Amino acid sequence: MAQHPNSLLDEIFDTALSGPRIFTQKSVLFHDYVPSRLLFREDQTRSLAYLFSPLLRGERSSNVFIYGKPGTGKTVVTKLVISKLQQRADRAGAPVSVCYVNCRVEGSEYRVAASLARTLGQDIPFTGLSVKEVFNRFTTALFSAGVTLLVVLDEIDCLVSRYGDDLLYMLTRLNKPEAASSIVIVGISNDVRFKEYLEPRVLSTLSEEEVVFTPYNSIELEAILSARVSHAFQEGVVAPEAVQLCASISGSQHGDARRALDLLRVAGELVERSGGPVVTVQHIHLAEQTMEKDRVTEVVHSLPLHSKLVLAAVLNCLEETKARVRSSVIYGRYVSLSRDLGTRALSSRRVLGLLRELSLLGLVDKRIENYGRRGGRVTMVELDAPLGLVRRALSDDALVAELFS
C-alpha cells in the first residue's frame, strides 16, 4: 500500500534535519564554480597569458582558437586568465575590455551580438532589431570607445553549426590599421570537427594561434577531485577509494573533470538522502547509473521525430540480430517504421546524417568497416547506451510507443 503523503514527507524532512551532514559547501561542486587553483593547466594558462600580454602595453594580440575535449578546463582557465587580465589592465590604465559570451547559453546570433554591444554600454532590446543592426551598433560603439576588446566566444561550435559563420566572419574583418579600437577573438570549442564548418578565410584568421587542452588522466583527476572534496564535503565523509573510482571512471572515458565532479556530487546527494554517513565505492557506481539514465532520457526526449525513428530502427534491428548492423539495413527498417506512422521517410543520405548526430550525442556508435580489397566500405552501427534505457526513453513519446506495442 502507498505510504501516506504526510508520513512520507515527515520521513524525508526528518532525515534532512537529523541525518549526518555530508556537504559543507556543495556549491563548490557546481559547474559555474571557479576554483582558485587550477591543477595541471600551467602550460595552457601560461600560453594564454603570454598571448594576451601585449594588450597591457596597448598593442594588439593574436586571435586564439582553444580546443579540447569536454571538461578539460578550457572555460575555467580562460575565465581565470581574462579576469586577471582585466584587473591588471584597469590597474595599469590600459584601454582593454573583455567580453565573455557562451554561445550555447545565448543560443542565437542576435543574443551573441547583443551581448557584445552591451559590454560597450549599448542598450539593446531583447528582440526587435535585425542582427545586422545590432552588429552595427556594436561596431559604432567599439570604434568610438578607443579600446581593445577581447571577445571570448565559448562553445563557438553551437553558434556556427546553427547559424553559419557570418557573424564570426564580420568580427574577424573588423580590425583596421588606422582605427583607434581593435578586437581580439578567442574561440573555444570541444568539437574536433568544428574547423570543418568554417570557411578557410575565417579559419585562418580565427586560429592565428591555437591552444590545446588535453584530457586529464586518472591520476590528475584524482588530485583535482581531492582538492575539491576538502572544500565541498565534511571531513572523512568521502572514502578515498570512492574518489579513486570517480577518477578512474572519468579517466578511462574522456578525461572529463566535470563528469568526475558530477559523479561525486550525485553520490553525495544519494548518501544525504539515505541518511547514511559515508560516500563509498557503491555510491559512486549508483551515481554513475543514475547519471547515465538521466543523460540518455534527456537526450532521447529532445530528439526530433525522425531522429527518434532512426534510433527506433537501430533498436529494432539490434533486438533481432544482437550484433552490429549495416546502416543500409537500418535505413530499410526506418523506412518501414515511417510508413507505419504514415510519415514520409527522409532520404538515405539524410538518415546517415541523423546517425552521425546520434553518434555525436553518444547514443549510437557508428564506424566504417572495409570489406576486402574490392568489398568496399560499409557503415556499421551499434548502440552506445543501455538498450533498456533507450527503449524506455523512446516509449515516452506516444507516437513512437505505438511502434513498439
Ligand X SMILES: Nc1ncnc2c1ncn2[C@@H]1O[C@H](COP(=O)(O)OP(=O)(O)OP(=O)(O)O)[C@@H](O)[C@H]1O
Residues that bind ligand X (CB under 6 A): 31, 33, 35, 38-41, 68, 70-76, 155, 190, 213, 224, 257-258, 261
Q: Report CA-CA distances (Å) from 82 to 97, 120, 184, 206, 323.
A: 10, 17, 12, 18, 49
Closer residue to ligand X, CB minimum distance, 71 or 251: 71
Binding residues for Mg ion, total number by CB under 5 A: 1
257 binds, among Mg ion, ligand X, none (CB under 5 to 8 A by kind): ligand X
CA-wise closest residue to 136 among 146, 149, 122, 125: 122
Nearest Cα neighbor of 271 from 257, 255, 287 is: 287
β-partners of residue 379 are 368
Residue with smaller CB distance to ligand X, 31 or 322: 31
SS3 180: coil
- Partner that binds at residue 72, options ligand X, Mg ion, none, CB closer than 5 to 8 Å by kind: ligand X
DSSP of 110-155: HHHHHHHHHHTT----SSSS-HHHHHHHHHHHHHHHT-EEEEEEET
Q: How far is the CB of 155 from Mg ion (least distance, A)?
A: 6
Q: What are the C-alpha distances in Å from 151 to residues 50, 101, 132, 166?
A: 17, 8, 18, 16
Residues 160/126, Cβ–Cβ less than 8 Å: no
Which residues 58-87 are close enough to bind Mg ion by CB under 5 A?
A: 75
Q: Which is nearer to ligand X, 96 or 257 (CB)?
A: 257
From the list Mg ion, ligand X, none, which binds 35 (C-beta under 5 to 8 Å, kind-based)?
ligand X
SS3 209: strand
31 versus 60: smaller Cβ distance to Mg ion: 31
- The smaller minimum CB distance to ligand X, of residues 79 and 326, is found at 79
Q: How far is the CB of 16 from ligand X (least distance, A)?
A: 26
Residue 41's binding partner, choosing from Mg ion, ligand X, none, with beta-carbon cut-off 5 to 8 A by kind?
Answer: ligand X
Contact characters 233-272, Mg ion, x per CB under 5 A: ----------------------------------------
Nearer to ligand X, 102 or 182 (CB): 102
Residue with smaller CB distance to ligand X, 51 or 403: 51
CB-based burial of residue 128 (10 Å sphere; 0-12 exposed, 13-18 middle, 19+ buried)?
Answer: exposed
- Taking the complex as a whole, how short is the minimal distance between the CB of residue 235 and ligand X, in angstroms? 20
The minimum distance between CB 161 and Mg ion, in angstroms, equals 16
With CA atoms as reference, report the closest residue to 174 among 131, 139, 132: 139
Angle at Cα 332 formed by Cα 330 and Cα 333, nearest 5°?
Answer: 65
Radius of gyration for the alpha carbons in the chain, expressed in angstroms and rounded: 25
In angstroms, the Cα distances linking 404 to 72, 211, 381, 396, 400 are 40, 48, 20, 11, 7
Q: How far is the CB of 211 from ligand X (least distance, A)?
A: 12
Q: Answer yes or no whether residue 189 interacts with Mg ion by CB under 5 A.
A: no
User: For Mg ion, what does the binding mask look like between residues 19 and 58, x meaning CB under 5 A?
Assistant: ----------------------------------------
The least CB distance from residue 329 to Mg ion, in Å, is 38
Site of interaction with Mg ion (CB under 5 A)? 75
